[in-house]
Structure 1
């Protein structure tokens, strides 16, 4: 089974493309014979991780793709590393603003994604979908969920998991001229990431680093 998670709207918005894309990708994967479930998470420190852990305990998932919105990015961002810190620039949807707090007290400083991010990057490029390997998922609720996910599956050999950021949808970016991507393209990208992750045993070597 495949689990995809997205987030509810936050920061005063009324739409979050991560949830729409996760739903569409889960439907497409299931229709193609690869059963998938989509779950929406609250944009709240603590509550989001609790909801994720509840869903992980309820099903036997071999692949987990957590998805969040990162306005300003130009393509899908395959996040490489989750760090054990919450440091909110804006309050979450419950008004919480943790600063310099661990996601998991006593947990490792960081976890790497177990998705084959380079193979996924190549597959997305071949499909004409803009994408990058990102070296930081931030310190807001997206990173909080990413770290909580990797901590939860660390003791589950064989479970692959990671985090993908998506850009704004066109309706969110039209007035400000920000980069955007159609939700259908995001969903197609998530499908490709899921299929590549299921079919790739060892990731490929492909330059996709950053100078800063």
Structure 2
């Protein structure tokens, strides 16, 4: 199995917790590859609603992953959320990196209204993370920003196992007083986020091995 993990760059007048997590994961690339049992690649996307489709296509063509873990920031969320549903709609309440905002129409005018995450045994993975004391849940509302958009696009790729992981803010973002952290929004330490990704990969590898043995 091959894995691609992605994150977004600066957003909402500050740095993005998903990119900070991606940096940390990339620092332990070899350990993650050993845990996963295959190659692991990392890609960063700008928060640009018009460019992200092309950049996602290029990343998938370059790395040809069997599995895709998309990650993004969700200020105000108290825990880790694995998104099950992507909607064919763009309504950016916060501007993207180019200043675009508001109702921008469908992600794909020819696509279905919704698409469902294809990452295997997602419920089992969430249960595994919860058993390790991590604040985690399944979600059916990925919003209407680029997080939802990239998930919707990824789920249109045949044979790709994909899911989106929404991340709470980091304590450092609150300490720096970034706009996204105003109002005392909840945070989660980076070590917990890293632990969650490692637990997801280990669970998914074991589930894949069990499925292969049964067949």
Q: TM-score range by the shorter chain?
A: 0.7 to 0.9
CA distance in 2, matches of 1:125, 1:29: 24
CA distance in 1, matches of 2:206, 2:23: 22
Which residue is 1:137 aligned to?
Answer: 142
Inter-CA distance 46–194: structure 2 relative to 1 (3 Å threshold): farther
Structure 2 residue matching 1:67: 3-state secondary structure:
strand
CA distance in 2, matches of 1:196, 1:112: 20
Which residue is 2:189 aligned to?
Answer: 182
Aligned CA-pair RMSD: 1.8
Which residue is 1:165 aligned to?
Answer: 166
User: How many angstroms does 1:57 deviate by?
Assistant: 0.8
User: How many angstroms does 1:98 deviate by?
Assistant: 5.1
Structure 1 residue matching 2:47: 3-state secondary structure:
coil
CA distance in 2, matches of 1:106, 1:141: 18
1:33-55 alpha-carbon deviations (Å, 9 max, x no partner): 13211111010102122211110
User: How many angstroms does 1:23 deviate by?
Assistant: 3.2
Which residue is 1:59 aligned to?
Answer: 63
Contact 1:49 1:149 in 2 (8 A): no
Count of paired positions? 197
Which of 197, 200, 209 is equivalent to 1:193? 200
CA distance in 1, matches of 2:122, 2:27: 23
User: How many angstroms does 1:199 deviate by?
Assistant: 2.9
Which of 117, 120, 123 is equivalent to 1:118? 123
User: How many angstroms does 1:90 deviate by?
Assistant: 2.2
4+ residue runs over 4 A deviation:
none
TM-score by structure 1 length?
0.86
Flag structure 1 segments of 5+ consecutive residues without an equivalent.
202-212
1:137-182 alpha-carbon deviations (Å, 9 max, x no partner): 000111111111111x2x2x2x311100000000222454221011
CA distance in 2, matches of 1:183, 1:63: 23
CA distance in 2, matches of 1:196, 1:82: 23
Contact 2:9 2:47 in 1 (8 A): yes
Inter-CA distance 191–29: structure 2 relative to 1 (3 Å threshold): farther
CA distance in 1, matches of 2:24, 2:198: 9
**Is 1:16 matched up with 2:16?**
yes
CA distance in 2, matches of 1:9, 1:183: 17
CA distance in 2, matches of 1:24, 1:194: 15
